[in-house]
Structure 1
Amino acid sequence: MSANDTGCARLLPVQHLRPGDHAFVSYGDDEVRWEVVTAFVRLGLSRAERVLVLPCPGVPEDEVLARIDFPSRSTVSARERGQLVVSSMHEVIRPDTEFTAARQMGRLYAETDRATAEGYTGLRAFIDMGWVRALGADLGVMACRETGAQALFTGRPYTEVCAYDRRRFDRPLLTAMERAHPCALLERLGSLRSLRAPDGTLHFIGEADAANRTAFSRALEIALAQTAPARWLTVDLTRLHFLSVGCAVGLLTLARCAAGHDLVEVRCDRGQRRLLRRLGAATLPRLALTEVVRAW
């Protein structure tokens, strides 16, 4: 992705979603699509939120539950007590039969209040947008809903992921819908993205683990080469869900060898800062660690 990509600041791993977030994700494979929804559901349950899943119409509820539960039956008790609900857009807009944004948002607003009244910390919903064609909904109405749903999220304990099958929607619509959402999610768990912001900052998003160590180091090497004239590089790790010891050592090694730079600033969370310091970050005079506290 180019350095001028305006969506750089919006890309997140699903694990970083928090109440008030409205996120876009797309998929193009029937197996891949279950990765984000499974993580989203399990995180919500662990945070004592009520979780609502609206799968693509035509996918049986038994299959949805089997995918979410694999390899164990860990959500059975959550379903029995009503914390996890698998439903449909038909149910959300009932008794109406035709979709309207007002009806859908009103119901989700009420369900959020109901969840908190029953002792949950909030409500999160995973909505597969396959319902749009299944209900014959107008794409313009759907687009207006996506761009005008702030009342559901602002200052409220509601989180939503809207999932778009790239085989069902054309590219211009997908691009418009991605831009309409405040957040966009990595499609696959365990993946790593590196993006250069307009100000030159190198952002890492996702998982900097052993499988991605080569890509992690290569992105750093390229960024150091490109910022040599400025003699300054800022690296942002705050959107990593995981930073391995191997990748952390690689970062410190490259910073130590960056003789052409006066400063390599690393923005990190508390855990990442602790790891880097234990590995010797304090001994590198050109390396500065800036701890960033994420608002939840």
Structure 2
Amino acid sequence: MAAERLRLGDHACLGPGGTGDGDSPWRVFTAYTRTSLARREKVLLVMDPDDLSNDEVVALLDQGSGQAVRARQSGQLSLRRNTEMYVPDGRFHEERTIEAYTDEVNRAYDEGWSGLSITADMGWAPRVNLDQDRLLEYEASVAPLFADPLFTAICWYDRKRFGDEFLAGMGRVHPLRVKARTDEVDVREGPEGEVVADVAESGPRTEFEVLREALARRESAGPSRLVLDLRDLCFMEAHCAWQLISLAASLPPGSQVTVRCGELLGLVLRQLGADEVPQLALSVEDEPGVSEGAEH
């Protein structure tokens, strides 16, 4: 899922286990932080010592809006280094780390925030040559932290530091996976043979391009069935929506494109004529719990 859809009580890793070589997690962290701040959750960013400075992080998150600056001043946004949180004396102790995070959750609650959202760069583990099996066991052991829905966490494991085999195991330990890119697209075959495309962001790869890619996987030129899941999509330009409707209308008779979306996107598509296209069906879902003040 997209980072913005995480809720208190969720424990996730970033991407299939981390981003690809050369990719930065900060675009995901920025979206996650802005959403959490808008929900009046305290945000704790646990970064690598070699990452950006605190001032650089705040500037990156803020982008001139003033939101991150105010959050840092009020204590709603907290910045720490992973060596400080996990190995303050150069050694890793599971119980100490869990206690430290429990204290952070309690502190956020005492300060009046609705919960605590964290991101944790797990690059501290190779620094102290921690056994990977022990790290897997630790991640599995923190489940009680999420039993009381006051805590949300994204753990980032850089593929360059950990390797694909370990990341596959770490992906199984975490209950949820956050899309490593906010414009990441998953295209797969559904249980009844339909093509399913999941989209997290309307960006350079618009819904029009995603739909074309999905339809290109058809084995015949006959009627097609496609499910386009836009429930993670926070915004769609009218031009993209119009392209989506036009492409659906160009499909052979008997085809069906089912668009799963929230109420706002459903309204945009209907205003542009979606209901007049026989090949297009809207499945509009309410999105409870999303703050009206969230910025996307």
- TM-score range, shorter-chain basis? 0.7 to 0.9
Task: Give the aligned partner of residue 202 of structure 1.
Answer: 196
Aligned residues: 283
Pairing 1:221–2:215 present: yes
Task: Give the aligned partner of residue 16 of structure 1.
Answer: 5
Q: What residue identity is the alignment partner of 1:166?
A: R
Task: Give the aligned partner of residue 270 of structure 1.
Answer: 263
Task: Give the aligned partner of residue 27 of structure 2.
Answer: 35
SS at match of 2:201: strand
Q: Distance in 1 between matches of 2:273 and 2:103?
A: 51
Query: Quick check: 2:48–2:82 contact (8 Å CA) kept in 1?
Result: no
Query: Quick check: 1:233–1:265 contact (8 Å CA) kept in 2?
Result: yes
Task: Give the aligned partner of residue 106 of structure 2.
Answer: 113
RMSD of aligned Cα (Å) = 2.9
SS at match of 1:258: coil
Q: Distance in 2 between matches of 1:236 and 1:94?
A: 41
Q: Distance in 2 between matches of 1:194 and 1:31?
A: 18
Task: Give the aligned partner of residue 55 of structure 1.
Answer: 47
**Residue pairs, 1:1-296, within 5 angstroms:** 12-25=1-14, 26-28=18-20, 32-59=24-51, 60-71=53-64, 74-92=67-85, 98-189=91-182, 191-199=183-191, 200-209=194-203, 212=206, 215-222=209-216, 225-226=218-219, 232-261=225-254, 263-294=256-287, 296=289
- The Cα shift of 1:49 comes to 0.9
Query: Quick check: 1:130–1:168 contact (8 Å CA) kept in 2?
Result: yes
Give every structure 1 segment of 4 or more consecutive aligned residues whose post-TM-superposition deviation is greater than 6 Å.
Answer: 227-230
Scaled by the length of structure 2, what TM-score is found? Answer: 0.81
Q: Distance in 1 between matches of 2:143 and 2:220?
A: 39
SS at match of 2:233: strand
SS at match of 1:175: helix
Q: What residue identity is the alignment partner of 1:245?
A: A
- The Cα shift of 1:162 comes to 0.8
Q: 1:213 to 1:94 in 2, by over 3 A?
A: closer
- The Cα shift of 1:255 comes to 2.2
Q: 1:154 to 1:201 in 2, by over 3 A?
A: farther
Query: Quick check: 1:273–1:289 contact (8 Å CA) kept in 2?
Result: yes
- The Cα shift of 1:53 comes to 1.0
Query: Quick check: 1:234–1:264 contact (8 Å CA) kept in 2?
Result: yes
CA distances 1:16-43 after superposition (whole Å, capped 9, x unpaired): 2222222222235667232222222222
Scaled by the length of structure 1, what TM-score is found? Answer: 0.81
SS at match of 1:208: coil
Q: What residue identity is the alignment partner of 1:111?
A: E
Q: 1:285 to 1:64 in 2, by over 3 A?
A: closer
Q: What residue identity is the alignment partner of 1:75?
A: A
Q: Distance in 1 between matches of 2:74 and 2:196?
A: 44
Q: Distance in 2 between matches of 1:116 and 1:75?
A: 20
SS at match of 2:235: strand
CA distances 1:162-201 after superposition (whole Å, capped 9, x unpaired): 1122221111112221232222223334x24142144234
- The Cα shift of 1:52 comes to 0.7
Q: 1:53 to 1:262 in 2, by over 3 A?
A: closer
Q: 1:143 to 1:58 in 2, by over 3 A?
A: same
Q: Which stretch of structure 1 is more off in the superposition, 98-107 or 157-166?
A: 98-107
Q: What residue identity is the alignment partner of 1:55?
A: M
Q: 1:286 to 1:34 in 2, by over 3 A?
A: closer
Q: Which stretch of structure 1 is more off in the superposition, 56-65 or 122-131?
A: 56-65
Q: Which stretch of structure 1 is more off in the superposition, 247-256 or 271-280?
A: 247-256
Q: Which stretch of structure 1 is more off in the superposition, 273-282 or 136-145?
A: 136-145
- The Cα shift of 1:258 comes to 2.2
Consecutive unaligned residues in structure 2, runs of 5 or more = 290-296
SS at match of 1:168: helix
Q: 1:272 to 1:49 in 2, by over 3 A?
A: same
Consecutive unaligned residues in structure 1, runs of 5 or more = 1-11
